[in-house]
Amino acid sequence: SYMPELPEVEVVRRSLQSFIKGLQIKKVSVFNRNLRYKISRDFDKKIINQKIIFIRRRSKFLLLGLQNHSVILMHLGMTGKIFIINNSSKKVFKTSFYYENEINKKHNHIIIKFNKFIKLIYNDVRKFGFVKIIPSGSIKENNHLRLLGPEPLNKDFNIKYLNTKIKNIKKNIKNLLMDQKLVSGLGNIYVNEILHLSSVNPLKVSKNLKIHQAKKIVKNVKTILLKAIKSGGSSIRDFKGALGKKGNFQQKFMVYDRNGQVCKKIGCRGKIKKIYISNRSTFYCLKCQK
């Protein structure tokens, strides 16, 4: 199964921004309170009649700000999906490209009806996602958010920051980039791609990175994430994308899932090898990743 990573969640955020920002919550139905964390009994009361005033993303979390200074904190887990339905035209919109338009109703856990005929469905087969209400003043102290490192696309994730962080770190660079305290939102697929583009071996001890390698990594983190967001993230299993567009970043994968194949880097012709690092499948080129 495939965890939505930062680009996927950012695509969902942008979709929600265009569909529900400024709308008012008219009705809340919770069919299953047993997600990763139990949905609180007063969830419905706390959000009813509230207007959605902002939709933000922090790492892989979505934050929906309400007028009453509370925030709906959501995490999609592994299989969480958000569908938007226009009740007057009966059209179903996906908020992301990595799932099909078919809604299996038995996995609908929450339905929120807004004004303007708009309805939001939270659907989650494996129930690893969660939805919580938190006061907007306590976002920084929230247990899920307080230890997260900088956003990879922000200016505070830069070469100076990475250099100070890797000084004495014996952890390999792949595990370090996956560490949410170092930088937030990077997941397995994109880290594989970032290290390949940077010509860095995933097993390299972090403190042994040369300055030019660290620079490349910072630059390529940004390049690859932006490219993935632009192409709708990675739909691993041939999904039709938001509003019919297909998330097609996986067609551009250079190493991920290419065990035994030839490196796509121009002039390389090395072979891609698959290994496991901390139980995660890791792909790298034996020739160009030093």
- Burial, 281: exposed, middle or buried (Cβ in 10 Å; 0-12, 13-18, 19+)? middle
Contact between residue 95 and residue 119 where contact means Cβ atoms under 8 Å apart: no
Known catalytic residue at 237: no
User: What token pair was written down for 38?
Assistant: 């139990």
Contact between residue 233 and residue 8 where contact means Cβ atoms under 8 Å apart: yes
DSSP letter at 184?
S
Known catalytic residue at 38: no
C-beta neighbour count of 286 within 10 angstroms: 11
Contact between residue 183 and residue 149 where contact means Cβ atoms under 8 Å apart: yes
Known catalytic residue at 4: yes
Known catalytic residue at 26: no
Q: Active-site residue among 13, 57, 60, 174?
A: 60
- In single-letter form, the type of residue at position 180 comes to Q
Q: Active-site residue among 26, 58, 219, 280?
A: 280
The angle formed by the CA atoms of residues 143, 144 and 149, to the nearest 5 degrees, is 105
| Interhelix angle 6-20/211-230, nearest 10 degrees | 40
User: What token pair was written down for 182?
Assistant: 């170092």
| Residues designated catalytic | 4-5, 60, 280
